[in-house]
Amino acid sequence: MATVHSATYDLLRNQGLTTVFGNPGSNELPFLRNFPEDFSYILGLHEGVVLGMADGFALASGKTTLVNLHAAAGTGNAMGALTNAWYSHSPLVLTAGQQARAMVGVESMLTNVDAVQLPRPLVKWSYEPACAEDVPRALSQAIHTANLPARGPVYLSIPHDDWAREVSDDSALLAQREVCSSGQPSAQQLARLAQRLNDAKNPILVLGPDVDAYQANALAVALAERLCMPVWVAPSAPRCPFPTRHSSFRGVLPAAIAGISARLEGHDLVLVVGAPVFRYHQYAPGTYLPAGAQLIHLTCDAQEAARAPMGDAWVGDIHATLDALLPLIEQQQRPQPKALPSPQAVAQPAPQENGADWMAPQTLFDLINELAPEDAIYVKESTSTVTAFWQRVEMRHPGSYFFPAAGGLGFGLPAAVGVQLAQPDRRVIGIIGDGSANYAISALWSAAQYRVPAIFIILKNGTYGALRWFSRLLDAEDSPGLDVPGLDFCALARGYGVRALEASSPEAFTEAFSQALGMQEPVLIEVATTTIEP
Q: Are 32 and 94 part of one and the same domain?
A: yes
**What CATH number corresponds to the domain at position 36?**
3.40.50.970
pLDDT of residue 184: 85
Q: Are 23 and 134 part of one and the same domain?
A: yes
Helices (H) and strands (E) in the chain, counts: 21, 18
pTM over 0.85: yes
* 518 phi, psi to nearest 5 deg: -90, 0
Which DSSP string corresponds to 326-365? Answer: GGGPPPP-SPPPPPPPPPPP-PPPPPPTTS---B-HHHHH
Q: Are 120 and 12 part of one and the same domain?
A: yes
Overall number of domains in the chain? 3
How crowded is residue 325: how many other Cβ atoms within 10 Å of its Cβ?
22
Of 384, 420, 236, 242, nearest to 322 by C-alpha is: 242
Catalytic residues: 25-26, 28, 47, 70, 281, 407
Asked if residue 343 belongs to a domain, the reply is: no
Q: Are 170 and 192 part of one and the same domain?
A: no
Residues of the chain with pLDDT under 50: none
pLDDT of residue 461: 81
Q: What is the pLDDT of residues 495-530, one digit of tens each?
A: 999 999 999 899 999 999 999 999 999 999 999 998
Distance of CA 114 to the CA centre of its chain: 29
In the chain, what are the helix, strand and coil shares in percent, each to the nearest 5? Answer: 40, 15, 45
Q: Are 10 and 119 part of one and the same domain?
A: yes
Q: Are 170 and 268 part of one and the same domain?
A: no
Last residue of a domain, one of 140, 175, 210: 175
The answer for residues whose C-beta is within 8 angstroms of residue 472's C-beta and 6 or more apart is none
CA distances from 147 to 42, 94, 190, 291, 365 (A): 21, 13, 25, 39, 35
Domain that holds residue 167: 4-175
Last residue of a domain, one of 307, 328, 349: 328
Q: What is the pLDDT of residues 330-349, one digit of tens each?
A: 999 999 999 999 998 888 88
